[in-house]
Amino acid sequence: MIAGRRGRLSTLLVGLVLAAPAWASGADSGPETVWGLPPIFWKILNFTIFFGGLGYLLSKPLRSFFASRREGIARQLAEATRQRAEAEELRREMEARVAGLQEEIANLRERLRGDGEREREALMQQGETEAAKLVAQVEEEAVRRIEAVRTQLAREASEAAVQVARELLSRELGPADRDRIFRATLARLHQGGSS
């Protein structure tokens, strides 16, 4: 392909070199006719041949460039659509898990309340002070378990989000992007250190 381009380019250059004397000789003289045709005809013919040859030489590379560009954009669009669908699916899964955990938390809270009430009634016979102390312990345990479940959910959600972000960044950022981000961060750190 490179040899074909060089051949075409050399043919074009030879044509331009051969046409140069005609241009040079035509610059000094007035409007004369060549083979009975006015100079404007020859200029239009020369223009047409030059740009026609240029169009012929560039048509195949430009066509392949635009075709590959169109395919690249289509691939990127398909990949973005797929990633968006994955992110939406992950969001739905997380919402379902949150809903399930909220229901479980409500059930746990209800069960713990019921347990606390039964314990309190049993302890009423032993004294009002002891019953209040036990209810407080049960409620504290419920809050601690709820917080533990929330913490676990938040940890799982953040790990999933980090994993998705890591996958997206590894696919979307190339070496040039990483280098650019690294340099920008260094510049910001340098500016922050100087001020």
Interhelix angle 2-28/39-124, nearest 10 degrees: 140
Averaged confidence pLDDT in the chain: 82
Q: Per the domain annotation, does 71 fall within a domain?
A: yes
Number of domains present in the structure of the chain: 1
**Rounded to 10 degrees, what is the CA torsion of 75, 79, 84, 85?**
100
Q: Per the domain annotation, does 157 fall within a domain?
A: yes
pLDDT tens digits for range 100-127:
888 888 888 888 888 878 887 776 677 6
Residue type, 189: L
Q: Per the domain annotation, does 83 fall within a domain?
A: yes
90: confidence class by pLDDT, cuts 50, 70, 90? very high
User: How much is the pLDDT for 23?
Assistant: 60
Q: Per the domain annotation, does 156 fall within a domain?
A: yes
Q: Per the domain annotation, does 21 fall within a domain?
A: no
Domain limits at 116? 2-16+39-173
Q: Per the domain annotation, does 160 fall within a domain?
A: yes
Residue 182, both tokens:
């690294």
Q: Per the domain annotation, does 47 fall within a domain?
A: yes
Q: Per the domain annotation, does 28 fall within a domain?
A: no
173: confidence class by pLDDT, cuts 50, 70, 90? confident
Distance CA 139, CA 113 (A): 8
Distance CA 183, CA 190 (A): 10
Report yes or no: 60 and 68 within 8 Å, Cβ to Cβ: no
